[in-house]
Amino acid sequence: MQSTNIMKNVIKKIRRNMTDRVLAGVCSGIAQTYNFNPLWLRLLFVLSTVYLFPWTVIIYLIAAIIIPKENVAFEEIKYKRFVRIKNHKIIGGVCTGLQDYFKIDVVLIRLAFIALIPVYGVGIITYLALWMISPIKELKKLPSNEIKLDEESVIVEEK
């Protein structure tokens, strides 16, 4: 009897998150259950769909049918969010969003995407997938040619 109570505390119940969903909330629900950003699971899903088409779609549809729904308030979401940055973009704002998320120079990120293009188009496919599945954020410009990303990060625009 006591071991049953211990198991209830350990097992996490997966629910489809209907608040932070792109399709059916499967990736968002799994990510929320295990406390990580759903963007990375969505990216994995999109990339695996490109390379393993029918199986990932079938698995996603089965998961959408068997995993129960749940509405979660955005205040309850505890992971760091990845967003594309609208103000400081060259194409879609993906690289600037990655700069803000990982705190590394945007030039290195752009070079990584370019370097991955000859590897079966992974650079282009990954960039397009991130562009497609990530939300966009417009940032306020400060009076001194700076764009505030978050409390620690500021981009200085050169003229």
28 to each of 74, 106, 129, 134, 149, how far by Cα in Å?
12, 27, 16, 12, 24
Confidence of residue 159 (pLDDT cuts 50, 70, 90): very low
What is the mean predicted confidence (pLDDT) over 17-37?
A: 86
| Residue 11 pLDDT exceeds 90 | no
- All structural domains of the chain with their residue ranges: 13-81, 82-159
Report which of residues 26 and 145 the model is more confident about.
26
Confidence of residue 7 (pLDDT cuts 50, 70, 90): low
| Residue 125 pLDDT exceeds 70 | yes
Count the helices and strands in the chain (H runs, E runs).
7, 7
Q: Is the pTM of this model over 0.75?
A: no
Share the mean pLDDT of the chain: 80
